Amino acid sequence: MLRLGRTAYAEILAHCWAGLPLEACGLLGGTTTGPAATDDADATICYPTANLAESARVYTVDPKGHLRADRDAERRGLTLIGVFHSHTHTAAYPSPTDVAQAPDPTWHYVLVSLADDAPVVRSYRIVEGNIAEESVVLLSR
Amino acid sequence: MPEVRIPTMLRPAVGGAATVEADGATVGEIVGQLVARYPDLAGQVVTEDGTLHRFVNVYVNDDDIRYLSKLDTKVGEGDTVSILPAVAGGAV
């Protein structure tokens, strides 16, 4: 399960909309109960990053933004627990590219679909090419 | 001794540590020492042909070593070497 802070949730959506017509991406800071695919995480901080690919079809998290996010999370006693990105015209489900390039089996992969009027936010664990959706619950703050 | 920050995906290879210390005058020497100490790191940061793996980014303090001298980038006593995964994907 991914428990998502309301502020972080709002910032994820704002960053994805602001990025249109391109895909937008960023990292999530928080805490996790452990590294296994069955472990839960609280994502309380959203770190919007530039999409270096500047594309409507692919994204690359700006490494400089990644380094800054990693340092900030450490200062707060948190870790980076996942990444989010938008799909501008397709469903909120990991693409073959997402699966092939998922770097970290301990991470939570949040997908935001902007294909319809209302955004759809879903979260997945991707371990050795296997996709498992997990529930997303909003925290009170 | 320089401090090396380990990303979560590589922590199992170093016994779970978020940071480790390693001696060496360059990034390449430091990674070499880490691989000697933690064999599971082999091939994770540097490829078999001795170049930086394309799925990681390595920094000395704030600077990406791809824009410095890559694995020959100098590392000083109080420097921090950060290893981070390259994060990418897309809708296709």
- β-bridge mates for residue A31, sequence order: A42
What are the two backbone dihedrals, phi and then psi, of residue A128, each rounded to the nearest 5 degrees? 50, 45
Look up residue B65 and give its amino acid: I
For residue A64, name the pLDDT band (cuts at 50, 70, 90): very high
Closest CA to A28 of A92, A74, A84: A84
**Average pLDDT value for residue range B1-30:** 94
The count of domains in chain A is 1
Rounded Cα distance between A67 and A133, Å, is: 27
Under DSSP, is residue A16 helix (H, G, I), strand (E, B) or coil? helix
B29 — contact with chain A (CB < 8 Å)?
A: no
Chain A hits for B88, Cβ within 8 Å: 53, 58-61, 97, 101
User: Residue A34 is part of which domain span?
Assistant: 2-138
Chain B hits for A89, Cβ within 8 Å: 91
Chain A hits for B90, Cβ within 8 Å: 23, 53, 55, 57-59, 85, 95, 97-98
- Residue A75's contacts (CB-CB under 8 Å, 6 or more residues apart) are none
For residue A38, name the pLDDT band (cuts at 50, 70, 90): confident
- Residue B78's contacts (CB-CB under 8 Å, 6 or more residues apart) are B2
| Inter-chain CB pairs, A–B, below 8 Å | 87
Distances (CA, A) of A6 to A11, A105, A139, B81: 9, 25, 6, 34
Look up residue B48 and give its amino acid: E
> In this structure, which CATH number among 3.40.50.2300, 3.50.50.60, 3.40.50.720, 3.10.20.30 belongs to the domain B3-85?
3.10.20.30
What pLDDT, on the 0 to 100 scale, is given for residue A140?
86
B 31-60: CB under 8 A from A: 55, 57, 59
Rounded Cα distance between B89 and A53, Å, is: 10
For chain B, the domains span: 3-85
- Residue B32's contacts (CB-CB under 8 Å, 6 or more residues apart) are B24, B46
Residue A141 has pLDDT above 80, yes or no: no
pLDDT in tens, B43-81: 999 998 889 998 999 999 999 999 999 999 999 999 999
Which domain CATH number covers A86? Answer: 3.40.140.10
What are the two backbone dihedrals, phi and then psi, of residue A53, each rounded to the nearest 5 degrees? -75, -20
Task: Give the number of other CB atoms < 10 A from CB of residue A80.
Answer: 26
